[in-house]
């Protein structure tokens, strides 16, 4: 049997570096000796496409010490990454033999930073992941922003089905980044929390179009709705959300934006990538850090 583990949003300086400098990823092959493990590292910041396999790249395989039942591949793909990657391998990857993994994606941190750019850069992929039916695991770097925001996104924007609700991860990072300069309770710990989704709930997806300038105003309404519903893990989101005020925001100026009927089909177009200068936290920690805006972007090196 074969198991494909696809690490989305991987970077050469984090997930790939862990592969080269440690034996952490090797544990997959050792834990399942009778299963053929194929580890994919996919994203705009991984090394150029390569196949690292003991039989095809002997010298490198010896350096890595890969178990004989394990194969590692990297594919550099610009966002939205998953749809392009899945289209290339649709015949070999499916819900029966594949697990998608994203470490510290950070796209829920908008509830704390007020900047939703990272969310919209992920949105197309999140919808495609849910539509594929392939189980996907996500970790978060904190619970006060990332878990709250990602729960809103997955349940109320994308309409995904939770297999495992957000919960504390016993295998989180051993260190915690604490904000300085009187930032307050902001902190970040890689892989602090974890949740798993698979598939989507019919009719649950929002009709927000990330290409429209009204997207943040519509996002605010979603967060308000989440608070009104009284979900305990969302109750603090509105207070932290610092999106522009409706009256002052040009995003809500209907005259400046194309006319769109609520009943018209939503077209999800790729949105601009977040610049590398907005990256925050330590390598591999793709959540937010104080004073640096939103990070964990998926732009090129």
Q: How confident is the model at residue 222 (pLDDT cuts 50, 70, 90)?
A: confident
Strand 160-168 versus strand 193-200 pairing type:
antiparallel
Nearest in space to 27 (alpha carbons), one of 57, 69, 58 = 69
Phi–psi pair at 166, nearest 5 degrees:
-55, 130
Report d(CA 100, CA 102) in Å as an integer.
7
Q: How confident is the model at residue 20 (pLDDT cuts 50, 70, 90)?
A: confident
pLDDT digits (tens, 9 = 90+) for 120-175: 999 999 999 999 999 999 999 998 889 999 999 999 999 999 999 999 999 998 88
pLDDT digits (tens, 9 = 90+) for 178-213: 877 555 668 889 999 999 999 999 999 998 999 999
Asked if residues 80 and 128 have their Cβ atoms less than 8 Å apart, the reply is yes
What distances in angstroms separate CA 116 from CA 77, 220, 242, one per listed residue? 22, 10, 10
Report d(CA 75, CA 85) in Å as an integer.
8
pTM: 0.74
């Amino acid at each position: 049997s074969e198991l494909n583990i696809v690490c989305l949003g991987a970077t050469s300086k984090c997930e790939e570096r862990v592969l080269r400098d440690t034996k952490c990823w090797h544990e997959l092959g050792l834990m399942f000796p009778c299963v053929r493990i194929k580890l994919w590292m996919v994203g705009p910041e991984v090394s150029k496409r390569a196949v690292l396999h003991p039989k095809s790249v002997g010298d490198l395989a010896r350096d890595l010490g890969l178990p004989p039942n394990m194969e590692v591949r990297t594919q550099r793909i610009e966002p939205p990454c998953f749809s392009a990657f899945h289209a290339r391998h649709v015949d070999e990857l499916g819900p029966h033999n594949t697990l998608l993994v994203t470490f510290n994606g950070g796209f829920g941190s908008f509830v704390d930073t007020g900047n939703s750019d990272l969310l919209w850069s992920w949105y197309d992929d999140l919808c495609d992941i849910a539509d594929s039916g392939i189980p996907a695991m996500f970790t978060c770097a904190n619970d006060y922003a990332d878990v709250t925001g990602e729960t809103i996104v997955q349940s109320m924007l994308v309409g995904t089905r939770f297999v495992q609700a957000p919960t504390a991860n016993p295998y989180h990072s051993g260190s915690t980044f604490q904000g300085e300069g009187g930032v307050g309770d902001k902190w970040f710990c890689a892989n602090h929390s974890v949740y798993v989704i698979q598939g989507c709930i019919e009719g649950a997806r929002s009709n927000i179009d990330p290409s429209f300038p009204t997207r943040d105003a519509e996002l605010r309404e979603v967060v308000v709705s989440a608070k009104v519903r009284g979900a305990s893990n969302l109750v603090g989101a509105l207070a932290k959300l610092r999106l522009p005020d409706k009256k002052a925001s040009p995003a809500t100026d209907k005259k400046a934006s194309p006319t769109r009927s609520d009943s018209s089909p939503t077209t999800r177009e790729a949105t601009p990538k977040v610049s590398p200068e907005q990256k925050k936290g330590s390598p591999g920690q793709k959540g937010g850090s104080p004073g640096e805006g939103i990070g964990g972007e998926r732009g090129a090196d």
